[in-house]
């Protein structure tokens, strides 16, 4: 509650009391009673009420979110050239008045929904794209009055700036902007470009008229039922195509995976075969080396061959059968160690029984 409200309430109370005393004085006078004291009170209260009424008419309190335009009967242009700032101000009583305007942000909405916009019912914007398709646009404009241009707004628009400026200006700009885009660009690829184009144009137009646009919101874009159905069918076809492409890619990946597994198995077989071949080669080389060393050992000591042959004969063998045309491979052993051709280092224990030979 500000001081002007208090003064106005006090003034109203004084006038009520004054009227009440006047009525009392009339009643007392009609009964022949003395009304001098009542008359003095009436006079004092009336003078006080007039003074307070004059003061309250000259005191104006401007809220922080407002600016005041002073309409003056004594100013050359009919108004003060400076708007009243927030706080308590003084104007000439009964010669000047104040029209306040909000400088806080306001929103003007145009929507297809019946209860969302400033106008009840379908207030969406009908426009046509460059390829002739009809679209319906829901939009909101967030704006405020420029504090430095309050007087200009009052002179040019008064309280009609919302309905007579913001509404028709935004609808016209939106229609012009949409007419420069194809329908697919409007709802997909270039929607942001469309919004930016509308926002830039509208901001400039509103600023020229004393309004500051804070934001433009392209709320929704709808289409005719026929076009909406065709768009839906197209989207379904694209989704099916994407799904088929995904299946193909999945099959390719599975085939590639199977190929890699087969390749890995083939490589493993080759590696195993190479490993086996290399092992066999190493074994053959080892055997060859062993045979070479054995041949070198037998070259100078042929008796080692007989010794090896004797060691290979089983312990229970008593008779050897040889063909009559095959020479003896070794001299027959005897029971005497003195006549045995091998040294005791090679054969520490003599064979106890000679091996008889038989001819066929």
Q: What pLDDT is recorded for position 36?
A: 81
Record the pTM: 0.59
Residue 170 has pLDDT above 70, yes or no: yes
- Which distant-in-sequence residues (6+ apart) come within 8 Å of 171 by Cβ? 110, 125
Three-state SS at 295: helix
> Tokens at residue 239, please?
């989704």
Rounded distance between C-alpha atoms, residue 260 and residue 256, angstroms: 6
Rounded distance between C-alpha atoms, residue 157 and residue 95, angstroms: 23
List, for residues 234-292, the tens digit of each pLDDT value.
767 777 788 888 888 888 888 888 888 888 888 888 888 888 888 888 888 888 887 78
Residue 359 has pLDDT above 70, yes or no: no
Rounded distance between C-alpha atoms, residue 279 and residue 323, angstroms: 41
Residue 11 has pLDDT above 90, yes or no: no
List, for residues 86-143, the tens digit of each pLDDT value.
998 889 998 999 999 999 999 999 998 888 877 888 889 999 999 888 889 999 999 9
| Continuous segment of H or E residues that includes residue 132 | none
Average confidence (pLDDT) over 23-44: 84
| Continuous segment of H or E residues that includes residue 321 | strand 320-321
Residue 168 has pLDDT above 50, yes or no: yes
Strand partners, 338: none
- Which distant-in-sequence residues (6+ apart) come within 8 Å of 93 by Cβ? 54, 55, 57, 58
List, for residues 287-342, the tens digit of each pLDDT value.
888 778 777 776 777 666 667 767 766 666 666 666 666 555 555 454 444 444 44
Three-state SS at 214: strand
């Amino acid at each position: 509650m500000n001081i002007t409200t208090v003064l106005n309430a006090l003034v109203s109370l004084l006038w009520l009391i004054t009227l009440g005393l006047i009525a009392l004085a009339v009643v007392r006078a009609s009964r022949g009673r003395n009304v001098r004291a009542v008359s003095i009170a009436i006079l004092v209260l009336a003078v006080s009420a007039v003074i307070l009424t004059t003061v309250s008419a000259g005191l104006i309190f401007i809220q922080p979110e407002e600016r005041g335009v002073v309409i003056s009967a004594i100013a050359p242009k009919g108004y003060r050239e400076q708007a009243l700032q927030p706080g308590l101000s003084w104007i000439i009583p009964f010669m000047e008045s104040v029209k306040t305007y909000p400088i806080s942000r306001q929103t003007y909405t145009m929507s297809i929904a019946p209860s969302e916009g400033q106008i009840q019912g379908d207030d969406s914007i009908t426009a046509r794209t460059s390829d002739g398709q009809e679209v319906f646009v829901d939009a909101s404009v967030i704006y405020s009055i420029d504090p430095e241009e309050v007087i200009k707004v009052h002179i040019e628009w008064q309280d009609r700036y919302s309905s007579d400026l913001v509404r028709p200006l935004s609808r016209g700009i939106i229609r012009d902007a949409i007419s420069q885009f194809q329908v697919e660009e409007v709802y997909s690829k270039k929607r942001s470009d469309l919004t930016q184009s509308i926002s830039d144009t509208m901001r400039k137009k509103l600023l020229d008229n004393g309004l500051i646009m804070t934001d433009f919101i392209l709320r929704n874009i709808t289409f005719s039922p026929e076009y909406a159905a065709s768009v839906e069918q197209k989207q379904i076809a694209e989704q099916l195509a994407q799904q088929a492409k995904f299946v193909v890619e999945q099959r390719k990946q599975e085939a590639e995976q199977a190929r890699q597994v087969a390749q890995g198995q083939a490589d493993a077989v080759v590696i195993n075969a190479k490993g086996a071949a290399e092992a066999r080669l190493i074994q053959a080389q080892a055997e060859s080396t062993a045979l070479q060393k054995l041949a070198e050992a037998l070259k100078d000591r042929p008796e080692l061959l007989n010794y090896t042959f004797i060691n290979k004969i089983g312990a229970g063998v008593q008779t050897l059968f040889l063909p009559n045309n095959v020479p003896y491979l070794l001299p027959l052993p005897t029971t005497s160690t003195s006549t045995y051709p091998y040294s005791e280092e090679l054969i520490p224990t003599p064979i106890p029984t000679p091996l008889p030979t038989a001819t066929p």
